[in-house]
Structure 1
Amino acid sequence: MFDLIALCLISILVYTFSRNRRQSSTPPGPRGLPFLGNALQIPKECSWLAFAEWAKIYGPVMHVHVISSSIIVLSSREAISDLLEKKNAMYSDRPVIPMAGELAGFGKYTAMLPYGQRHREGRKLILGTVNARKAPELHAIQEAKAADFVSRLTRNPSEFRPHLRWLLASIVLQITYGINVDSYDDAYVRAVEIVLNDFSEVTAPGAYLVDGLPFLKYIPEWFPGASFKRIAREANERASQLVVNLYKVSREQMDHGAATPSFVADILAYNPSPTPEEEDLYQQVSAQFYGAGSDTTVSSLLSFFLIMAQHPEIQRKAQAEVDAIVGDRLPKCSDCKDMPYLEAVLKEVHRCNPVVPLALPHHVRREDVYAGFRIPAGSTVIANTWAVLHDPALYPRPDEVIPERYLGKPDEHPDLNPDPRDFAFGYGRRVCPGRMLAEDTLFIVAASVLASFNISDAVPLEGETIEYRGGVLSHPDEFTCNITPRRVV
């Protein structure tokens, strides 16, 4: 009898222990190598595609282990909402990324700051400029620049990519610093592009061993295999110099009474004698504008050009709508509400190839349990936005461009084809504060292009197909297309 009771107690203990272990285990994920974990399995480019394929095997909540770092990858709308939205207080931090945040210095900018007072102050400053009250001022700049872009494209359509880079940098630099740039070859435009390329490279998940072995940041730059130190130092120097120089130009305009309205001019007019700490904050927040609003919108517009060239029937429908609203004039930002089909086209631009396929990483403050899995404290949490926007359960035939998917009656199928912009601009308390600026710029440029040009025959400069590549930011391969005027500008 005693033996039977003992056996029952042991069985209960074993069952309870094993059940607790199962309940508290981390989510499943691909098997890695000893010590390195999955470090060598995460591609430096297009890691969102690898994560999406792994999610088909291991599920929408997946654990990836990179040496000493735990990465939780979320690949479903439900998981992202449950953790990053509903538990945003716990998941709103940013991780400390040795390569990008510490060595390359990007950790001091608003988007990469941990959730706290400085981050909130930075967002408040940005939203003081990008809001509905300021919209008329912003729209005037965007509309004028879009008209100039149309004129440049008419004169030299083959240079549409440099024209786009000039356009977005020009809008952002004028709104932020009151600086007017005339060409893509402007030193500031080039410098912004280089810094954004640096950011995309150094923030790619798993790209640098130092992110998994933080002690490597202490080795000297001359040490064999420490080329990452040079890469980070040079990126830090370029970004810091650009931030200081742009702010200095705007400050000098203020001092000489020649400043045009801008973000920096507004905050210096309100606080003409900032403390060194305040001035440092102003400089870092200013950088957020071109970091979030320049390169990302260029990529979205390149996708728009590509979709128009590859889908002439969609282009014709969008042009017919634009023509019916604007007649012989160029579009205005206020026309957006009257162009539902074009809005649907731009939703597909966001969905088919999101500019930030993996949302910037979040950091979980304390241990959590979700769906029976343990989320270790200090884990890096990454939302695979690309996977969600290509989920056939949400977006039937996800590999096809179908603007009409957003034009049905949402009450009939509320779970189908949600607005992709709800995913494309981040999650929870880390939603991009410049979303309004990005969306309005995308609309006014797309509408102006449709009113003025036909786009056709997209051809890759190299290879047989046009693919999307990148680290954190995604861009299409270089391509050419025919751009022919519909009207004299």
Structure 2
Amino acid sequence: MEGITLILLYVAIPSLFFSAIQKFLSWRKKSSSEAKFPGPKQFPVVGRVHDLPRFSLWLKFTEWAQEHGPIYYTHALDTHFVIVSDVKIAEELLVKRGHIYSGRPQIRALIKHKDGPAYSALMDRHDIWKAQRKWCHAAMAEAYKHHFYGHVEMEMKRFLGLMLMDPARFLDYTREYCGRVMSRLAWDDATQGRKNGESADTTLHCMSVSGPLVNTMTPLWQLPAFINPWYQFEIKREGEQRAWWLNNFRLAKDKYRRGELPNDTWAYRYFEQIKREQNNDNVDQPEDQEVFASCMIGFLNLVGVVTISGPSKFFLMAMALHPEWQKKAQDEIDRVCGDRMPTMADFADLPTVRACLKETVRWRSGVPLGVPHQCERDDEYRGVKIKKGTIILACEWAINRVPTMYPDGDNFRPERWLEAGWPTFQEPLSRYPNFREGHAMHTFGWGRRTCLGQNIVDDEMFVFGAASLWAFNSAQARNSRTGELIPIDTQATNSHVILEPLPFQLDFKPRSQERAQQILTNYHDVIGKLRL
């Protein structure tokens, strides 16, 4: 593979050469007296591309933040970055000046994603984006009012039953659980959950710095299509994904016409809207409108998997590595729930569970780089000019370790959310901490590009965390021959934009024989209602 990459790189040398000349001349013209943000030394043309790692890039950006301060500049080839690690600066740029800093940068390995309609979170702010975002916001808000119609709890009972029977597959089951909840809400087809998770993982790979080489060595994307393997792969991948979304959409439409589509699905909501707009019972539309709607629902479905699967896996890891907090949370659950599985009705009474969940997302963020914003026109901040096209990254990993807000930030400390005296403490504990409001909501992005999924993250992660602790004791796995603990690298991840930990091993055991029997009873209660 390395040989092929080198060959392709040399084929691309003409474009690299002309780009280098252009960048060098531009660099020569810059006035040395022009105000600049601090930052690492920049080399002509290449900037710092040579020492920007494709994996765990947030660690490098955090290292530079410690050296150069809460806002600094760097660039790599033709991409210019302003890196922010201070909440107030991020709010000033990405919230108060959201009309300037709410664009999305071009991801080389994706094709026309800024135009739409396939990826609403990656589009520029145009009419397609506005229409999709408005619709998704209303659909998500309505589902939250009903706490997602009980599907989170039903799928959790299935998950716990599978875990009891085959605990070694806990990582697969966790992602599938997230995929099934979203696929049921989208199309009334939870059986698509596994494929939904796999599709999400592949899509994230293609949009990440750690993914295709062209996302960092951008001139390679200019290779002709017939010798461009990244272009060929993306044409095939996106075509298959769109076809899958469209097929699910049309199957849901057929069920709607037969009166078989549940009214708690997002597809049902869309078809009802079409009937109202057309003032008749006809839900037929031109194909371009079907593609618009199927991508809108499909991408909402996809994002709901990746934003919850990674943090849920990290939560299981955190509980096994911190048995004292596992025990505290289990004692709280036992006092409140006894022999029954926790549900959203127990939310107010389980602050320790919520603190462990909130701390997990701070300690091992699912979006440690932050999602990039692009400057949509020239601007100036603190006397420094920021050119149109510059990428602003609010580095979540660094923000989550600012000592004044998060003392002992590298360590897992759920008490920071529970005890007065910590900067993050909020009352009443029947309400805080949560993923909908309060401190540390920057995990969900900024301003006009804030993620719409806080509510489902709050519900789904709470039920997942509380029910898992109710059902099982977890611990680090041991080597079957030596009996020694198998180490876990808590920072080993796939390095996607929204990431998951790399595979790790844990040992799960039901907390008692009676609890095991209750898990099985719950599992059999829902099997008849869930398609497997």
Which TM-score bucket, shorter chain as reference?
Answer: 0.7 to 0.9
- Alpha-carbon distance between aligned partners in 2 of 1:45 and 1:107, rounded to the nearest angstrom: 29
Q: For residue 10 of structure 1, what is the aligned residue in structure 2?
A: none
Deviation at 1:218, TM superposition (A): 4.6
Which residue identity lines up with residue 259 of structure 1 in the other structure?
A: L
Match of residue 468, structure 1, among 485, 492, 508? 492
**Shift of residue 51, structure 1, vs aligned partner:** 1.0
Q: Which amino acid aligns with 2:224?
A: P
2:249 to 247, 250, 255: 247
Tell me how far apart the structure 2 counterparts of residues 284 and 398 of structure 1 sit (CA, whole Å).
Answer: 39
- Number of the residue aligned with 1:423: 442
Q: Equivalent residue for 2:296? A: 285
1:157 to 152, 159, 167: 167
Paired amino acid for 2:225: E
**8 Å contact from structure 1 (residues 101, 112) kept in 2:** no
Asked if 2 retains the 8 angstrom alpha-carbon contact of 1:243 and 1:283, the reply is yes
- Check 1:477–1:459 CA distance in 2 against 1; reply closer, same or farther (3 A cut): farther
Q: Pick the aligned partner of 2:236 from 224, 234, 237.
A: 234
CA deviation after TM superposition for structure 1 residue 387, in Å: 0.9
Indicate how the Cα distance of structure 1 residues 464 and 329 shifts in structure 2: closer, same or farther if over 3 A, else same. Answer: closer
Stretch deviating more after TM superposition (127-136 or 346-355):
127-136
CA distance in 1, matches of 2:247, 2:439: 36
RMSD: 2.9
1:221 aligns to 2:225 (yes or no): yes
Instruction: State, as a whole percentage, how many aligned pairs show the same letter.
Output: 24
Quickly say closer, same or farther: Cα 1:91–1:313, change in 2 above 3 A: same
| 1:435 and 2:454 aligned | yes
1:206: Cα distance to partner? 8.1
Q: Describe how 1:45-444 pairs up with structure 2 within 5 A.
A: 45-102=55-112, 108-131=118-141, 134-136=144-146, 138-181=148-191, 188-205=192-209, 210=214, 217-223=221-227, 226-261=228-263, 262-271=265-274, 272-409=283-420, 413=423, 421-444=440-463
Q: Could you tell me how far apart the structure 2 residues matched to 1:32 and 1:204 are?
A: 23
Q: What is the Cα deviation at residue 41 of structure 1?
A: 2.2
> Do the aligned partners of residues 475 and 210 (structure 1) sit closer, same or farther apart at CA in structure 2, a change above 3 Å counting?
closer
Moved more, 166-175 or 233-242: 233-242
Q: Which moved more, 1:468-477 or 1:226-235?
A: 226-235
Q: Which amino acid aligns with 1:465?
A: D
Aligned partners of 1:44 and 1:471 also within 8 Å: no
Measured at CA, do residues 103 and 335 of structure 1 come closer, stay the same or move farther in structure 2, by a change above 3 Å?
closer
Task: Report the alpha carbon displacement of residue 106 of structure 1 after superposing the two structures with TM.
Answer: 7.6
Deviation digits for residues 267-291 of structure 1 (CA, Å, limit 9, x no counterpart)? 1122123444432321121122232
Q: Deviations over 1:419-441 (max 9, x none)?
A: 56401111111111121112210
Equivalent position of 1:455 in the other structure: 474
Structure 1 position 221, deviation (Å): 3.0
Normalising by structure 1, we get a TM-score of: 0.86
C-alpha spacing 1:257/1:197, structure 2 compared with 1 (3 Å): same
The one-letter code of the counterpart of 2:61 is F
- Aligned amino acid, residue 405 of structure 2: L
1:31 corresponds to which residue?
Answer: 41
Q: CA deviation at 1:366?
A: 1.6
Give, in angstroms, the shift of residue 193 of structure 1: 3.0
Gap regions ≥5 residues in structure 1: 1-19, 182-187
Kindly state the Cα deviation for residue 84 of structure 1 after the two structures are TM-superposed: 0.7
* Counterpart residue number, 1:43: 53
Q: Select between 366-375 and 441-450 the one with higher mean Cα deviation.
A: 366-375
Q: Which moved more, 1:379-388 or 1:100-109?
A: 100-109
- The answer to whether the 8 Å contact 2:115/2:124 transfers is no
CA contact (8 A) 2:117 2:128 kept: no
Would the alpha carbon gap of residues 59 and 134 (structure 1) be closer, same or farther in structure 2, given more than 3 Å must change?
closer
2: CA distance, partners of 1:350 / 1:393: 18
Deviations 1:210-262 (A, max 9, x none): 55786754532333xx3322332233233223222222222222233321231
**Are the equivalent residues in 2 in contact too, given 1:296–1:355 (CA < 8 A)?**
yes
**Residue 94 of structure 1 contacts residue 113 of structure 1 at CA under 8 Å; is this kept in 2?**
yes
Q: What secondary structure sits across from 1:40 in the alignment? A: helix
Q: After superposing the two structures, state which structure 1 stretch, 283-292 or 417-426, moved more.
A: 417-426
C-alpha spacing 1:22/1:398, structure 2 compared with 1 (3 Å): farther
Give the CA deviation at 1:151: 1.6
CA contact (8 A) 2:182 2:301 kept: yes
Give the match's secondary structure for 1:475: coil
Alignment match, 2:23: none
Deviations 1:136-171 (A, max 9, x none): 251411111111111221122222112112211110
Letter of the aligned partner of 1:263 in structure 2?
W
**C-alpha contact 1:100 1:106 (8 A) present in aligned 2:** no
Residue matched to 1:16: none
- Report if aligned partners of 1:109, 1:287 keep a CA contact under 8 Å in 2: no
**Taking structure 1 as reference, are residues 214 and 451 closer, same or farther at Cα in structure 2, changes over 3 Å only?**
closer
What does residue 6 of structure 1 align with? Answer: none
After TM superposition, give the deviation of residue 335 of structure 1 in Å: 1.3
Question: Cα gap change, 1:171/1:212 in structure 2, threshold over 3 Å: closer, same or farther?
Answer: closer
